[in-house]
C-alpha cells in the first residue's frame, strides 16, 4: 500500500515514530521526491461489503463515512497503549477501545493524509477463532 500525502513529515512521524514501524532503505531522487518504506509486519487485505463496514462502525461507535472507504487496520499488542501514544502525538480518536464479538479490542483514530487507522488487539489465536460459530471463508 502506498499512501500519498502532502504532509510527508507528519505521516512519517505518525507511522514510524508513534506507531513504531521500522524504516527500510528506500530510493528517491532529489528535491520533493521523498519516500519512506515502513515495515508493517504481515499484511492481509480485508474485502468487505458496505453493510459489513456499517456494522463495524456501529460496533466501534464510530461515525460512518459516505462512499467507498479505505481504512488501515494495524494489529497491535496493546490497543489502549497504542491509542494513548497516537493521542499524545495529536491523533484524534474516532472510536475508543471496544471489545468486539470476534474477540479483538478495536479503537480507531484519524491518521495522516485522511486515512482512518484502526488498531486491533487479538484476544485469541486464529485456530480458536476458526473453531467458533460464525467464522468461515467465502468458499
Q: In what order do the strands lie in the sheet with 92-99?
A: 71-75, 116-122, 104-110, 92-99
Q: What is the pLDDT along the chain (139 residues), one digit of tens a residue?
A: 888 888 999 999 999 999 999 998 888 888 888 999 898 888 777 778 888 888 888 988 888 877 667 788 899 999 999 999 999 999 999 999 999 888 899 999 998 888 899 999 999 988 887 788 777 666 5
Give long-range contacts, CB 8 A cutoff, 24+ apart: 113-116: 113/3, 113/4, 113/5, 113/6, 113/7, 113/11, 115/3, 115/70, 115/71, 115/72, 116/62, 116/65, 116/69, 116/71, 116/72
C-alpha 27/C-alpha 30 separation (Å) is: 10
Give long-range contacts, CB 8 A cutoff, 24+ apart: 27-34: 34/8
Q: What is residue 16's three-state secondary structure? A: helix
C-alpha 1/C-alpha 6 separation (Å) is: 16
Radius of gyration, CA atoms only, the chain: 16
Instruction: Note the pLDDT of residue 85.
Output: 96
Amino acid at each position: 500500500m502506498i499512501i500519498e500525502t502532502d504532509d510527508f513529515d507528519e505521516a512519517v512521524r505518525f507511522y514510524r515514530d508513534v506507531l513504531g514501524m521500522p524504516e527500510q532503505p528506500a530510493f528517491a531522487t532529489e528535491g520533493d521526491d521523498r519516500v519512506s518504506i515502513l515495515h508493517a509486519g504481515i499484511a492481509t487485505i480485508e474485502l468487505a461489503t458496505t453493510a459489513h463496514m456499517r456494522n463495524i462502525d456501529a460496533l466501534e461507535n464510530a461515525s460512518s463515512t459516505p462512499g467507498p472507504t479505505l481504512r488501515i487496520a494495524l494489529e497491535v499488542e496493546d490497543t489502549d497503549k497504542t491509542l494513548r501514544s497516537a493521542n499524545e502525538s495529536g491523533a484524534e480518536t474516532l472510536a475508543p477501545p471496544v471489545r468486539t464479538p470476534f474477540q479483538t479490542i478495536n479503537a480507531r483514530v484519524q491518521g495522516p493524509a485522511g486515512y482512518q487507522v484502526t488498531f486491533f488487539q487479538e484476544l485469541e489465536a486464529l485456530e480458536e477463532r476458526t473453531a467458533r460459530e460464525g467464522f468461515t471463508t467465502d468458499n
